[in-house]
Structure 1
Amino acid sequence: MNTSGFELLKSRCQDDWQAYTRHRFLRELAIGSLPRMAFQHYLQQDYLFLIHFARAYALAAYKSPTLADLRQAHEGLKAILDLELGLHVEYCAGWGISEAALEQTPEARPTTAYTRYVLDTGQRGDLLDLHVALAPCVIGYAEIANWINAQPFTVRGAENPYNAWIAMYESEEFQAAARSEQQWIDARMAGLPEARLEALTTIFREATRLETDFWAMNLEMTP
């Protein structure tokens, strides 16, 4: 049985993928012991990331070779601008972070590093390069939610202040979006020559490492 394109990328970057999807930030979040300051910092930086994510979808529209790809990019951009950013602002308000504070948040270096890497990769490469650079976020968060739910140490319900975050990414809507993204990548990686697979692996590995740095920076905010 042949390994799918996305699973092949994961297998070639196994150590980096494990470091990202099993990070201490996530373990503490699952237990409910993550310091409030660390999570608030994450929420503020994630707001900035969403804005760059929208730009990535705009770039995907420009890079789209087919009408179907163009429509997919448009739907992604529309979802972020019309829905996700609003929901994020509302969620942040529950954590004591106003929209004005979000808009004034300075961008941390790990945020800059990952988002600019994604955009630069998309500008230099093709649509597949861009999707692979985004995959650790789009597909990774769905896997992370499933992993958290499978751990014996995970606390769910009102006892965990981060329960709503876990619920967001375990939702069928998000899981379906992740599956759709993986299917898109799998279809376009089928039959690619080894040299092209190696290039995509390099993109995936670097994007995964930068996502790991995105977790780590929030822990550095705490004493």
Structure 2
Amino acid sequence: MDVFERLRAAAPDEWAAYVEHPFVRRLGDGTLPEAAFRAYLVQDYLFLIQFARAYALAAYKSRTTEDIRAAQAGLAAILDETELHIRLCARWGIGEEELAATPEEATTVAYTRFVLDCGAAGDLLDLHVALAPCVVGYAVIGEALAPDGVAALADHPYREWIGEYAGHPYRAVAARARAHLDALAARSLTEARWPDLVATFAAASRLEADFWQMGLDRGASP
């Protein structure tokens, strides 16, 4: 098993609560209310801005050009991902300026600042373990929601979102993230550090589940 698989196996309950959350299941079967998806998507745009900062922090924390390039690639992927949010929100009449001006929900703040704190207080391995449930998890979810490929989704209401994370470009992003996590672990993972890294991964997975729940709750609000 690679490091990501080991972390996932060490936090099975937190991982399952994240990837099998009712928001994900309803998104997959097309029954998720549009209001819930819209609430999630707007907050996820703000979320990604903070994750871009996390990759900038990764560049600052880097000691090798290889790590700096990995941070640069991660930052570029995040910025590319925001284009999906801008495009989808524009269909509801929500422009980029309005997106950026939307207040962050407490759930958004809790998750993103947790990741940034992991990076500020720790090293690159701490930071990338905190990032992994999101970066790799979305590829896992995307593949699970499109087991027969994106074309088979036909007129699914959330086909474009699912296709973004089930597609080969994003799966390549996730694969690079897993490989980089292995490279960092080869340099600095010790047996004594492992429980703390598992705790970080579990906490980030719980915060991901909370983020889905925020979308459901906001979508149910009048």
Tell me if both proteins adopt one fold, taking TM over 0.5 as the criterion. yes
Secondary structure in structure 1 of the residue aligned to 2:146? helix
Secondary structure in structure 2 of the residue aligned to 1:33? coil
1:217 and 2:222 equivalent?
A: no
1:157-206 deviation line (CA, Å, top 9, x unaligned)? 21x21111110101100001101111111233248332111111111011
**Corresponding residue to 1:38 among 31, 36, 39:** 36
1:6-64 deviation line (CA, Å, top 9, x unaligned)? 11100110111011011100111111110111000011101101110110011000000
Conserved? CA contact 1:139–1:179, under 8 Å: yes
Residues 108 and 86 (structure 1), Cα distance of their counterparts in 2 relative to 1, 3 Å cut: same
| Partner residue, 1:143 | 140
Conserved? CA contact 1:5–1:190, under 8 Å: no
1:93-145 deviation line (CA, Å, top 9, x unaligned)? 12332223212211001100000000000000001110110001100000001
Aligned residues: 216
Conserved? CA contact 1:122–1:130, under 8 Å: yes
Q: Distance in 1 between matches of 2:208 and 2:30?
A: 21
- Aligned partner letter, 1:197: W
| Partner residue, 2:101 | 104
**Corresponding residue to 1:64 among 52, 62, 65:** 62
The offset of 1:78, in angstroms, is 3.4
Q: Distance in 2 between matches of 1:208 and 1:12?
A: 12
Conserved? CA contact 1:56–1:118, under 8 Å: yes
1:66-88 deviation line (CA, Å, top 9, x unaligned)? 1110122123223434x333342
Q: Distance in 1 between matches of 2:29 and 2:153?
A: 8
Q: CA RMSD in A?
A: 1.7
Q: Distance in 1 between matches of 2:136 and 2:158?
A: 20
Q: Distance in 2 between matches of 1:30 and 1:74?
A: 31
**Corresponding residue to 1:18 among 2, 16, 19:** 16
Q: Distance in 1 between matches of 2:13 and 2:93?
A: 36
- Aligned partner letter, 2:43: Q
**Corresponding residue to 1:181 among 166, 177, 181:** 177
| Partner residue, 1:29 | 27
**Corresponding residue to 1:131 among 103, 128, 137:** 128
Which runs of 5 or more structure 1 residues have no equivalent in the other structure?
none
Q: Distance in 2 between matches of 1:76 and 1:187?
A: 15
| Partner residue, 2:167 | 171
Moved over 4 A (4+): none
The offset of 1:150, in angstroms, is 3.6
Secondary structure in structure 1 of the residue aligned to 2:193? helix
Conserved? CA contact 1:57–1:77, under 8 Å: yes
| Partner residue, 1:204 | 201
Q: Distance in 1 between matches of 2:83 and 2:144?
A: 27
**Corresponding residue to 1:55 among 53, 56, 63:** 53
Conserved? CA contact 2:42–2:85, under 8 Å: no
Conserved? CA contact 2:124–2:184, under 8 Å: no
| Partner residue, 2:118 | 121
Q: Distance in 2 between matches of 1:76 and 1:14?
A: 26
Conserved? CA contact 2:125–2:184, under 8 Å: yes
